[in-house]
Amino acid sequence: MDLNSGYPFWAVKNGLLSIYPRLQNDLTCEVVVIGGGISGALIAHYLSEANIDTVVLEKRELAGGSTSASTALLQYEIDTPLTELVKLVGEQQAVRAYHLCREAIDKVADLAQKVGVADHFSHKTSLYLASSRWHVKQLRQEFALRQAYGFNLDYLDKGAIGERFSFTAPAALYSYNAGEVDAFQLAHAIFKHSAQRGVQIFDRTAAKEWQADSAGVTVTTETGCQIHAKYLILAAGYEAQHYIKPKLVKFRSSYALASEPLTDFSGWYEQCLIWESARPYVYLRTTSEGRAIIGGEDDQIDLPAKRDALLERKAAKLTKRFNQFFPHIPLHIDYRWAGTFGETSDGLPYIDNLPDQPRILVALGYGGNGITYSVVAAELLRDRLCQRTNPDATIFRLDRH
């Protein structure tokens, strides 16, 4: 599956950070993780911390799939507003899902410090704009509900937005719990740390098939090597849908561009994260090198050739949107890319075992909160393998619909 197009900024900026060997012999372990992106990295880390013998397989280079194309905005808000999520899954579970995402941001910060890439993580604030006056009522309801459950945010009217930014909107929510990260750097640093703790990592090693029974799972690679494990965790991102029935996600393409380093951020208050209530929406952030990133222009195209052909046109539209937000910031594009994006019907991930296959677990962090969802998945799967009861597991079960 071709997960990205163009030149994803993070992969070009960082280059080839590390190479791990191909698997060339049979192995036995407790858990085999298929997927070497940020989800696989976080899962491997949490399992190694619990002293679980773990093997990771990645068919590309590590972090070479969706992780390299991620714009890596870290927000506790998911694509489904809390007021809407309450209607879908109930108030208790909806609020808990939001709190888990908020806690995950701090855990990413702590982990970045632990594995030596703290300079690639930044705590941020986040601005959620009402795209039209018809969305103001919903934003007021969203503000009241979040505030009632202890989230730290402000409601901004049109005048307050104009005082802080070079643009305005009918209303906005300004949240104080957000972050941004270089997900490519973070994934590689976590894998390096996990390898030092004994996790065996193999890239350029594709799993061809697996067989599961009551005793465990046998994974066979394309070169014929076999891994015998007690459990298999499928953390292959959007490619994991190929192995799961029924279809759980709608695939789309999302587009992004990164500017040259900037010296002036006039009109961009605190260089906060920015996104909007329209669907699909645009989203903006900055980087530690002083670049601006804007993404969006999502469409329902899931064919790499068509996505590639649209890249320049989409980049032009994103540039126009950036100039509307920040007319005083000259934007010169260095990188433009597109990537596969998947979303579920409620915006929540799937973290569970496959139906009637307790030995095969999935960590599918679909939606706009892939990294925070991956933290949640790593903790839930660790607890399951350690035979610990975690009440949050019911929120993300595979059969919840």
For the segment 279-284, the average pLDDT, to the nearest whole number, is 92
- Report d(CA 266, CA 247) in Å as an integer: 45
Tokens representing 246? 């029924």
Read off the pTM.
Answer: 0.94
> pLDDT confidence of 7, banded at 50, 70, 90?
low
Question: Encoding tokens for residue 253?
Answer: 């393409």
- Please give the average per-residue pLDDT across 321-345, as a whole number: 90
How large a percentage of the chain has pLDDT more than 70? 94
Say yes or no to pLDDT of 238 above 70: no
The residue-averaged pLDDT of 140-164 equals 98
The mean per-residue pLDDT over the stretch 352-356 comes to: 91
Q: Give the separation between CA 166 and CA 10, rounded to whole angstroms.
A: 28
Report d(CA 276, CA 132) in Å as an integer. 10
d(CA 82, CA 401): 18
The 3-class secondary structure across 166-235, one letter per residue, is CCCCCEEEEEEEEEEECHHHHHHHHHHHHHHCCCEEECCCCEEEEEECCCCEEEEECCCCEEEEEEEEEC
Secondary structure class of 90 (helix, strand, coil): coil
Q: Report pLDDT for 302.
A: 65
Summarize the confidence of residues 313-319 as an average pLDDT.
Answer: 95
Domain boundaries, the chain: 4-69+184-247+347-396, 121-179+249-343
Q: Using CA atoms, how far apart are residues 32 and 21, in angstroms rounded to an integer?
A: 16
Per-residue pLDDT at 6: 59
Intra-chain end-to-end CA distance of the chain, in Å = 27
In angstroms and rounded to an integer, the radius of gyration of the C-alpha atoms of the chain is: 21
Q: What is the pLDDT of residues 67-123, one digit of tens each?
A: 888 899 999 999 999 999 999 999 999 999 999 999 999 999 999 999 999 999 999
What residues does 284 pair with on adjacent strands?
A: 274, 294
The pLDDT value given to residue 8: 77
DSSP secondary-structure letter at 261?
P
d(CA 236, CA 238): 6
From CA 57, how far away is CA 103, in angstroms rounded? 28
Tally of CB atoms within 10 A around 193? 20
Q: Tell the CATH topology of 4-69+184-247+347-396.
A: FAD/NAD(P)-binding domain (3.50.50)
Angle at 42 between CA 374 and CA 9, to 5 degrees: 80
Q: What is the pLDDT of residue 322?
A: 97
Whole-number Å distance between alpha carbons of 204 and 121: 28
| Digit-coded pLDDT (tens) for 376-388 | 999 999 999 999 9
pLDDT digits (tens, 9 = 90+) for 182-192: 999 999 999 99
Q: Does the domain at residues 121-179+249-343 carry the CATH identifier 3.30.9.10?
A: yes
Query: Is residue 82 within 8 Å of residue 102, measured between CB atoms?
Result: no
Residue 1: the pLDDT is: 45
Give residue 16's pLDDT band: very low, low, confident or very high (50, 70, 90): confident
pLDDT at 2: 45
- When the pLDDT of each residue in the chain is averaged and rounded to a whole number, the result is 92
Q: What is the pLDDT of residue 3?
A: 45
Task: Give residue 303's identity as a one-letter amino acid code.
Answer: L
pLDDT > 70? residue 181:
yes
Q: What is the mean pLDDT of residues 300-329?
A: 89
pLDDT tens digits for range 205-233: 999 999 999 999 999 999 999 999 999 99
Q: What is the DSSP string of 111-175?
A: HHHHTT-GGGEEEEEEEEE-SSGGGHHHHHHHHHHHHHTT--EEEEEHHHHHHHSSS--SEEEEE
Express each pLDDT in 31-55 by its tens digit: 999 999 999 999 999 999 999 999 9
